[in-house]
Amino acid sequence: MKKVTINSVASYAGVSKKTVSRVLNNEPNVSDATREKVLKVFKELDYTPNPIARGLAQNRSFIIGCIYDNPSKSYITRVQTGALAACQENKYNLLIHPCDLRGDALISNIEHLLQSSRLDGLVLTPPFSDFKVLVDFLKSKKIPYARVASAVLEDDSISVRSNDEQGAFEITEHLIKLGHKAIAFIKGHPDHSATEQRFKGYRRALSMHGIEFNERLVEEGNFSYHSGVDSARSILDLIPCPTAVFASNDYMAAAVLKLATQRQFKVPDDISIAGFDNAPIARHIWPGLTTIAQPVEEMTKQAVTKLIEHIGEPQEQPYQVTLEARLITRESTAQVR
Amino acid sequence: MKKVTINSVASYAGVSKKTVSRVLNNEPNVSDATREKVLKVFKELDYTPNPIARGLAQNRSFIIGCIYDNPSKSYITRVQTGALAACQENKYNLLIHPCDLRGDALISNIEHLLQSSRLDGLVLTPPFSDFKVLVDFLKSKKIPYARVASAVLEDDSISVRSNDEQGAFEITEHLIKLGHKAIAFIKGHPDHSATEQRFKGYRRALSMHGIEFNERLVEEGNFSYHSGVDSARSILDLIPCPTAVFASNDYMAAAVLKLATQRQFKVPDDISIAGFDNAPIARHIWPGLTTIAQPVEEMTKQAVTKLIEHIGEPQEQPYQVTLEARLITRESTAQVR
DNA sequence: CCGCATTATGACACCGGTGTCAGGGTTGAA
DNA sequence: TTCAACCCTGACACCGGTGTCATAATGCGG
């Protein structure tokens, strides 16, 4: 298979390579006849431009990076799916880069990543979306970035989120309407901005329905299944035991369900359990978890699409969108007895 | 931040850029004094070579692609983790590319991927690892590739697998030793080579322990949770009902568990359930699933490492390794009553 | 038909590295 | 002392595109 370069196309079509380049990039000032001719040669020779050469000339890599430090595999794959969709539409590549939020080496890690891969932009996923140190660093280096599921909005960046507070409010209200008054809550990881948002929604629902907030019903988790087990233990030991538990994500909710089942609780008859995220596990277990579904793929896709647009034309406007989350009721919640 | 190129380093160090290049690539024929001097300037100027320029010059991209068409998110993330580890050690990037095995456009899809991203190599994950059409295509195009978890070994390629047949044998034997004789089996997706391997292991264990194979106890699944539900339905409807079910992966096993629980079976007292893969869900549900753990990350890491070595020196030897799988017993299997 | 603005095209440098090759310096054996 | 062999080093072309600018061709009003 002979390599087809812009030179072969040019000589074959009888034009200069600059003209070929013009056709490639849909630039104006090419006569229709010439354009047609070149396009035909593209087909005939089955020409594909070399992105590396193009990258070198334009000082771009056509790669955007996605960084994460998230225990939920399913969340990550959903993020990736959305990001990939946007990348493929725009002939970009996606580089995935798991890294440690806590490490003091984070900034230098990211700096090295940017240096060595010459990324055109970065997608920040939770918990990085609201990690000020990092955002400030990127801003100072003028690295384009987009934030997914951030709580704090900034008026000069790209940010696509879903309404965590509202989602938490709705699911809590759902429990209240089923007659629950003692509703335990398991918080997420303190570094995730969603943690506070969901907690806020929980409290708003309580207060709106005149239920007094009880601090003893709140446990600190960190979104991991394991932390859910610990929190569940404390909650199920409470006397009197709450009639419902709302965990900040489905893994922790699944942990509550597991422990409750082990302890011979009947779910949802003895205790209702609700989660958040609509992770696969929510429907893979019995009883299925009532939860909140967020459009993770869609959020990420929009964020990445805007990011790529922004790379192309840096004067582009900021983009701030909040998508709706949706309550999904399954068997794990029921009328209080 | 001024851009630091090989030219700035060269003039700063008072040598030619070719010499700088020699130091960069650890080439011989550079005097120690010169090497030291250049290395010092690297530090001083904080120089990072531009991978794009290097790629253009060497006609390489330093990117390897990982293609998959796999319903198990957790499997994919594990593959990615392993692949990333190998890539980072070797300053490579990983491009992930989900695609449809069934689509007739597969080959042209992959061809386009290779063309447009100039990948240096490809990692094939199940079910692509044993997809002959694709392997032949890559071979004919002389694209370096490595296969993860393939069943069929070829003596001229890189292939790292785990022993599916042996794993299935062991878990079946585990059930037999618990006194089970009527052990149902749920097959995986027919396109995955693991499907046949696991089935073979199941049959070998039966025959080795003098249990007659009963075709009615075998259901066709496809590794998805949903297919597990369908298979579970058929199995639980059998009269007499088998005392154990061995599903070819944990998702399907979880589906059996869910349906069994819904139907008021007590697991493992009324029926034992075993899975395969040690997916997170296996320990997230109650009772936890007895299963087989495979070193997926390690397999992929080895495969990718060898692949990168092979790209560097194409005359490299083939590499064929089989890693061991390991039985993990949890609460879902017990002595038959 | 002329002068000028506008469009179409190509020559050439450039992006930041690597490959080739030639030349100067040093070493060691004859 | 001489000459081949070897080690260092740099000049220069090249990878495959894009940016700049000059120039040729065309359109158009006067």
Q: In this model, does residue B316 exceed pLDDT 70?
A: no
Residues of chain A found within 8 Å of residue B96, distances taken between Cβ atoms: 80, 84, 94, 96
DSSP 8-state assignment for residue B235: H
Comparison of pLDDT for B174 and B315, the residue scoring more: B174
Minimum distance, in Å, between the CA of residue A178 and any CA atom of chain B:
23
User: Are residues B87 and B64 in contact, defined by beta-carbon separation less than 8 angstroms?
Assistant: yes
Residues 226-255 of B with CB under 8 A from A: 251, 254-255
Q: In this model, does residue A314 exceed pLDDT 80?
A: no
At B35-59, the pLDDT tens digits run: 999 999 999 999 999 999 999 999 9
Is B53–A56 a contact, with Cβ atoms under 8 angstroms apart? Answer: yes
The reported pLDDT for the residue numbered A18 is 94
Q: What are phi and psi of B150, to 5 degrees?
A: -85, 155
Per-domain boundaries in chain B: 6-49, 60-162+296-324, 164-294
DSSP states of B17-35 as a string?
A: HHHHHHHHTT-SS--HHHH
Percent of chain A having pLDDT more than 70?
99
The reported pLDDT for the residue numbered B193 is 93
Is A116–B51 a contact, with Cβ atoms under 8 angstroms apart? Answer: yes
Percent of chain B having pLDDT more than 70?
99
Q: In this model, does residue B173 exceed pLDDT 90?
A: yes
List the single best residue of B94, B286, B332 to mutate versus A (max A Cβ within 10 A).
B286
Q: In this model, does residue B317 exceed pLDDT 80?
A: no
User: Hey, what CATH class is B164-294 in?
Assistant: alpha beta
At A15-28, the pLDDT tens digits run: 999 999 999 999 98
* Candidates 3.40.50.2000, 3.40.1410.10, 3.90.1150.10, 3.40.50.2300; CATH matching B60-162+296-324: 3.40.50.2300
- Domains B6-49 and B164-294 fall in the same CATH topology: no
How many Å from the CA of B250 to C1' of C6?
70
At A226-279, the pLDDT tens digits run: 999 999 999 999 999 999 999 999 999 999 999 999 999 999 999 999 999 999
Is B255–A284 a contact, with Cβ atoms under 8 angstroms apart? Answer: yes
Question: Which of chain A's residues 17-56 bind strand C, using a 7 Å CB cutoff?
Answer: 17-19, 22, 28-31, 33-34, 53, 56
How many Å from the CA of A17 to C1' of D17?
9
- For residue A147, CA distances in Å to A67, A109, B182 come to 11, 19, 54
How many Å from the CA of A255 to C1' of D10?
67
Residues of chain B found within 8 Å of residue A262, distances taken between Cβ atoms: 286
Q: In this model, does residue B190 exceed pLDDT 90?
A: yes
Minimum distance, in Å, between the CA of residue A161 and any CA atom of chain B:
23
User: Are residues B202 and B170 in contact, defined by beta-carbon separation less than 8 angstroms?
Assistant: no
Domain A61-162+296-324 in CATH: superfamily?
Response regulator (3.40.50.2300)
List the single best residue of A4, A47, A52, A252 to mutate versus B (max B Cβ within 10 A).
A52
Q: In this model, does residue B1 exceed pLDDT 70?
A: no
Residue B3, judged by CB atoms within 10 A of its CB (0-12, 13-18, 19+), counts as exposed
Q: Which residues contact A310 (CB under 8 A, 6 or more apart)?
A: A121, A144, A146, A158, A316
Minimum distance, in Å, between the CA of residue A121 and any CA atom of chain B:
15
User: Are residues A237 and A219 in contact, defined by beta-carbon separation less than 8 angstroms?
Assistant: no
Percent of chain B having pLDDT more than 90?
84
The CATH code of domain A164-293 reads 3.40.50.2300
Give A284's pLDDT tier (boundaries 50, 70, 90).
Answer: very high
Residue B293, judged by CB atoms within 10 A of its CB (0-12, 13-18, 19+), counts as middle
Minimum distance, in Å, between the CA of residue B55 and any CA atom of chain A:
7
The CATH code of domain A6-49 reads 1.10.260.40
Task: For chain B, give the mean pLDDT.
Answer: 93
- Name the residue among A51, A261, A286 with its Cβ closest to that of B117: A51
Give B115's pLDDT tier (boundaries 50, 70, 90).
Answer: confident
Mean pLDDT of the A209-213 span: 97
Task: For chain A, give the mean pLDDT.
Answer: 93
Rounded to a whole number, what is the distance in angstroms from the first to the last CA of chain B?
Answer: 74
Give A316's pLDDT tier (boundaries 50, 70, 90).
Answer: low
The reported pLDDT for the residue numbered B102 is 84
Q: Helices in A132-214 by DSSP H: which ranges? A: 132-141, 164-177, 193-208
Mean pLDDT of the B81-85 span: 95
Instruction: Copy the structure tokens of residue A9.
Output: 């196309």
B185 close to A (CB below 8 A): no
The reported pLDDT for the residue numbered A1 is 57
Mean pLDDT of the B268-272 span: 96
A51 close to B (CB below 8 A): yes
Protein residues contacting strand D, judged by Cβ under 7 Å: A 3, 5-7, 17-18, 20-21, 24-25, 49-50, 53-54, 56-58; B 14-19, 22, 28-31, 33-34, 53, 56-57, 59
B284 close to A (CB below 8 A): yes
Mean pLDDT of the A208-220 span: 97
At B209-258, the pLDDT tens digits run: 999 999 999 999 999 999 999 999 999 999 999 999 999 999 999 999 99
CA of A55: nucleotide with nearest C1' = D17
Mean pLDDT of the B90-105 span: 88
- Name the residue among A51, A80, A254 with its Cβ closest to that of B96: A80
User: Are residues B243 and B181 in contact, defined by beta-carbon separation less than 8 angstroms?
Assistant: yes
Burial readout A10-29 (b: 16 or more C-beta within 10 A, e: otherwise): bebbebebebbbbbbeeeee
The reported pLDDT for the residue numbered B236 is 97
